[in-house]
Structure 1
């Protein structure tokens, strides 16, 4: 097998059968494949993404037998009243079992060039949406004594990137919430963990002026000498969402090919 094309993530046949998953940023570069992999494991997914073309692409790639378990919610996460109302409708039907707080925006420029409104916008999408989604899911998870919350942080927390201050700040907030929620919710059988993706070839890389130079920069820093794929992220999410991860909480799992070893 070509080392650039790892197999699809798989925890077990139907490992998420019957599980209801809320996934923000579900149609993006990493979310698209993870959504498909979770559908293949039997999950019912409420996929939130505001990008119509990406939503259409996800829908087109969804196998016919899984289409009824994919609910695409084309929403702007900064419209907090609408988000809160929609989540109330979803959780009124049945509890959510898994929440994946993945949606993020990543404007890039020197810190002093950001306006306060731009800083607030990043926080609203990257952090406040996670607060709203988790708050909506918590009562049902608590009542059923089972739940999985997965926050997507970032390798940028290691300090190796410039001109991303509000994005890095937001990911630091999610890491802090991961630990706070893990401590507070554990008594109800709810785990909360984070995944820190490395430098994956997604739309986020388009901000770099020298793509080939950046690719080599990434490979030079990784122990594993291939670029990461969405399947790599999917494998980590599937595991943390599974029954087998019930004794793991408060952790930040780096999925970065061995870039950051702590």
Structure 2
């Protein structure tokens, strides 16, 4: 990854921090977009001395798409261009479908999907000019069904699969690949929405073929694979990283 510049949203989160550090260790400049102060501090601490790459932090609010585009334009001018995009940031409000207002649906869509569209629009001209690009969209096991009260989140994660395939077809001629990761159930802050943590943990292990909980390294290495030069003939695919819970 030497010389590559990577835009990574949600880079300081439960699944993001370890991926960011791995990519920095492999020589990439990681632009970490995250506005959780405590998590940003933890990422900065973990990345310190990880080299040979480096960390750039942006605390832009992804729900403000105009401000995000302006920030991306500034970062592209500063770094010389973005080679890799990892659209990972997401919010996941939970309640019955009929209790969500249309504005709440749209807010989830804006952060989980539209911010990714803005990033690709900003970086695409540079990727085309260089004849290289990697886009990784982070979807979710929830698109397979089986989870209630998450309809805006599930809709947003399914939209990322559709965009993965559409972009893969449209951008392939310029040497740009587009793939998706669909993580299973990982012990991150997202699981705090479940009222019975121990019961949920048992349910996950019963459902998985592999009888351990996933960890951030499982996702980090999957993302690193898709971003590498060696994955240049793989595009439009969704990799399910879920311990054999859902097989597709």
Q: TM-score range by the shorter chain?
A: over 0.9
Structure 2's unaligned 5+ residue stretches are none
Structure 2 residue 224 is the aligned partner of structure 1 residue 254: no
Shift of 1:68: 7.2
Structure 2 length-normalised TM:
0.97
CA RMSD of aligned residues (A): 1.1
Moved over 6 A (4+): none
> What aligned pairs does 1:19-168 form with structure 2 within 5 A after superposition?
19-64=4-49, 66=51, 69-93=54-78, 94-168=80-154
Structure 1's unaligned 5+ residue stretches are 1-15
> What aligned pairs does 1:180-199 form with structure 2 within 5 A after superposition?
180-199=166-185
1:52-102 Cα shifts (integer Å, max 9, x gaps)? 111011111113253971001011101112111111112234121100000
Q: Secondary structure at the match of 2:171?
A: helix
Q: Secondary structure at the match of 2:95?
A: coil
Question: What number of residue pairs does the alignment pair up?
Answer: 247
CA shift in 2, pair 1:67/1:115, >3 Å: farther
Higher relative contact order (CA 8 A, sep 6+): 1
1:12 corresponding residue in structure 2: none
1:10 corresponding residue in structure 2: none
In structure 2, how many angstroms separate the alpha carbons of the residues matched to 1:105 and 1:21? Answer: 21
Shift of 1:255: 0.5
